[in-house]
Homo-oligomer: A and B are copies of this chain.
Amino acid sequence: MDQSGEKVVSSAQLASKCMVNPAQVRKDLAYFGEFGVRGVGYYVKDLLNSIKKILGLNKEWRMAVIGIGNLGSALLSYKDFLKQNYKIVAAFDIDPPKVIGRVSEKLGKPVEILHISRIKEVAKERNIEIALITTPPSEAQSVANLVVEAGIRGILNFAPAQITVPEGFVLKDVFFTNILDNLAYLLSNS
């Protein structure tokens, strides 16, 4: 809406876009503060900034991809990051030379692939806060341990393996098979 040049928006407009109740929109926003103006609505620019602040998207998050197979390569060339506040600033593998060429072809400004042993050093240098684990499942936990040791507090795990991290670290799994199960369920009952 900001890009379309719209200045204000009401909870009713937001609600219809999100297919929820207008009161829900107001309650949810009011939970974090007073962002609206009575009798007017919400100023789009202000609301956008406020929400970004709430969600932690008012800064650039610096990330590393670990495990440069097909999935890791896909992430390295994932253009959608550019629109968001995420940036891949490092890539690691256990066998770096093999893959440099492959990735360089794909990107204008390629990210050099480094040996996993350098993660602690590089994490500090480049202020890495999030690690994307795209290794085979058998390596996921030991890689996670290295990530933790390197002081990277956020982990997004793409490997189909259950891994654990100590208190104070945040781990999220991307198991698309869960979504696939949901799809299968919906197909079975329709």
Contact = CB atoms under 8 A, between A and B. Distances in A.
Interface of A: 54-57, 61, 69-71, 73-74, 77, 80-81, 84-86, 106, 129-130, 137, 153-154, 156, 158, 160, 168, 170, 172, 174, 176-177, 179-190
Q: Which 9 A-B pairs have CB atoms at the shortest separation, nearest pair first?
A: A56-B188, A70-B74, A71-B74, A80-B160, A56-B184, A70-B73, A174-B176, A170-B186, A172-B183
Contacts of A137: 80
Contact of A184 (B57, B182, B189): B57
A127 B69 CA distance: 30
Nearest to A55: B185
Nearest to A160: B80
